[in-house]
Amino acid sequence: MEETLRQLRLRLEALHQIELKISAEVDLETLLQAVVSYSIELTGGCAGAFFICRPERGILELVTALGLEPNPTGLHLRKGEGLAGKIWETGRALIVNDYLNWEGHYPLAEGTPYAAAVGTPVYWKQDLVGVLVVLGQLPCSFSPVDRDSLEMFAPLAATAIRNAQLYDELQARMRELKETQERLFQMAHMASLGVLAGGIAHQVRNPLAIISTSAQLLADHLEDEALRQRCIDRICTATERISHIIGNLLGFAHPVTGPMATVDLNTILDETLGLLGYELAKREIALVREIEPDLPPVHGNAMGLQRVFLNLIVNAVNAMPQGGTLTVAAHTKPAEQVEIQFRDDGVGIPAENLTRIFEPFFTTMPVGKGIGLGLSLSYSIVQQHGGTLEVESQEGQGSTFTVRLPRLAEGGQVQNGGR
């Protein structure tokens, strides 16, 4: 009795140490290997296996095995089949010390005859998580203390396994949500591209006409060396212009990625307004520029900030269906900030919607015309740049969206607490 109590005390101490180790592990595969390894250590066996319960398929699947050659991972057992199946059937721990002659013997590994086996069910609350089995070679035999040790270990293993499974499920869910978010944001970007289409077509048509005319002149006057060189120069210049336009278009179509760097706001604003100029004129929207010629640089992602400016201009265009005036102003402000404003004299925003316009999927556009992610995405991008995005509006009197970004000081340091 004293010896039994001593062994139990030692194993309880070992279980406590094991619990501390496995509770910190969230990778399921690594955890299951640790569970099997500690089970072998607790009982003095030489091999072990863990079977996950697949109730929807009516099987136990061997997912982790140590000390078994060849490795039988992937083996399926049904209820009542082998030691693990018998434990599933009875719901109780089981010792078989004459395993080779046991009527339920199931050879887990062909190379080594295991003479003894002990196993226990692993439950999480009322649900069977799996079955843990330890095997031993002669002269090994398992005692009730070994069985009890495994039974005491089982709930600790169940908790750790369930936590790892939940972590896996959470990670998968997060990946799914991220993929869904990226798809939805991409839809919002592509919706904005519709506004760009007219301007892109107009800007590409001009250099294409130059290329066409120059090519015709080349064909008609091949002998004129001076004319030939002028035509070649014009074709090269027009081709570079088209390449630049297409590069901007592809940039708008792709997700915002890439590291932060020094960004020239004047260049970004000029490119964005240049792309939209034709579309604004077509919709009878007058563009007023109040942009300082030498805005200080900011630390950010150029493509991300272009997205913000595009989304805010598209928002202003949609607010002026009968035409109007869009004012784009950019100035250096106190507190080491750069402020960019987009002012329209459109329909304005009702007071009850002002607190919601930056919410994902909130839109007042008709079904099929918008999914309510443009402003939400813009708000998120500005926050990532350490800035703010605010709106002022009155119904029937237009709206003003203001972006404030921390400027870069000399030496490349971000001012005003920007990231």
Clarify whether residues 283 and 399 are in a common domain: yes
**pLDDT at residue 340, as a whole number:** 96
> Can you tell me the mean pLDDT for 136-159?
89
Domain annotation covers residue 17: yes
The tokens of 226 are what? 């001076």
Domain annotation covers residue 279: yes
**pLDDT at residue 207, as a whole number:** 82
CA 109, CA 69: separation in Å to the nearest integer? 6
pTM (two decimals): 0.49
Residue 371 has pLDDT above 50, yes or no: no
Q: Are 398 and 346 in contact (CB under 8 A)?
A: yes
Residue 418 has pLDDT above 50, yes or no: no
Confidence class for position 195, pLDDT limits 50, 70, 90: low
Residue 368 has pLDDT above 70, yes or no: no
Can you say whether residue 339 is alpha, beta or left, with left for phi > 0 and alpha for psi between -120 and 50 degrees?
beta
Domain annotation covers residue 415: no
CA 313, CA 160: separation in Å to the nearest integer? 52
Greater model confidence, 124 or 199? 124
**pLDDT at residue 336, as a whole number:** 81
Clarify whether residues 38 and 148 are in a common domain: yes
> Can you tell me the mean pLDDT for 289-304?
92
Greater model confidence, 125 or 182? 125
Clarify whether residues 283 and 156 are in a common domain: no
Clarify whether residues 153 and 266 are in a common domain: no
| Cα–Cα separations (whole angstroms), residue 46 to 113, 122, 224 | 12, 20, 92
CATH number at residue 263: 3.30.565.10
Domain annotation covers residue 15: yes
**Could you report the per-residue pLDDT of 212-268, keeping only the tens digit for each?**
888 888 888 888 888 888 888 888 888 877 776 666 555 555 545 567 889 999 999
Clarify whether residues 283 and 159 are in a common domain: no
CA 65, CA 118: separation in Å to the nearest integer? 15
Domain annotation covers residue 193: no
**pLDDT at residue 367, as a whole number:** 42
Q: Are 402 and 412 in contact (CB under 8 A)?
A: no
**Could you report the per-residue pLDDT of 375-408, keeping only the tens digit for each?**
877 888 898 899 999 999 999 899 999 999 998 8
Residue the block writes with tokens 């929807």 = 56
Domain boundary at 174, 199, 218, which? 174
The mean pLDDT value of the chain amounts to: 83
Sign of CA dihedral 160, 166, 171, 174: negative
Domain annotation covers residue 227: no
CA 213, CA 402: separation in Å to the nearest integer? 45
**pLDDT at residue 249, as a whole number:** 59
**pLDDT at residue 419, as a whole number:** 38
CA 135, CA 322: separation in Å to the nearest integer? 82
Least confident range from 97-106, 220-229, 262-271, 357-366: namely 357-366
Domain annotation covers residue 68: yes
Domain boundary at 158, 174, 190, which? 174
CA nearest to 216, candidates 238, 195, 231: 231
Domain of residue 126, residue span: 2-174
Domain boundary at 117, 144, 174, which? 174
Number of domains in the chain: 2
CATH number at residue 11: 3.30.450.40
CA 221, CA 178: separation in Å to the nearest integer? 59
**Could you report the per-residue pLDDT of 299-321, keeping only the tens digit for each?**
998 888 988 998 899 889 889 99
Domain annotation covers residue 75: yes
**pLDDT at residue 287, as a whole number:** 95
Greater model confidence, 362 or 327? 327
Greater model confidence, 243 or 148? 148
CA nearest to 357, candidates 340, 336, 335, 372: 372
Clarify whether residues 13 and 161 are in a common domain: yes
Can you say whether residue 150 is alpha, beta or left, with left for phi > 0 and alpha for psi between -120 and 50 degrees?
alpha
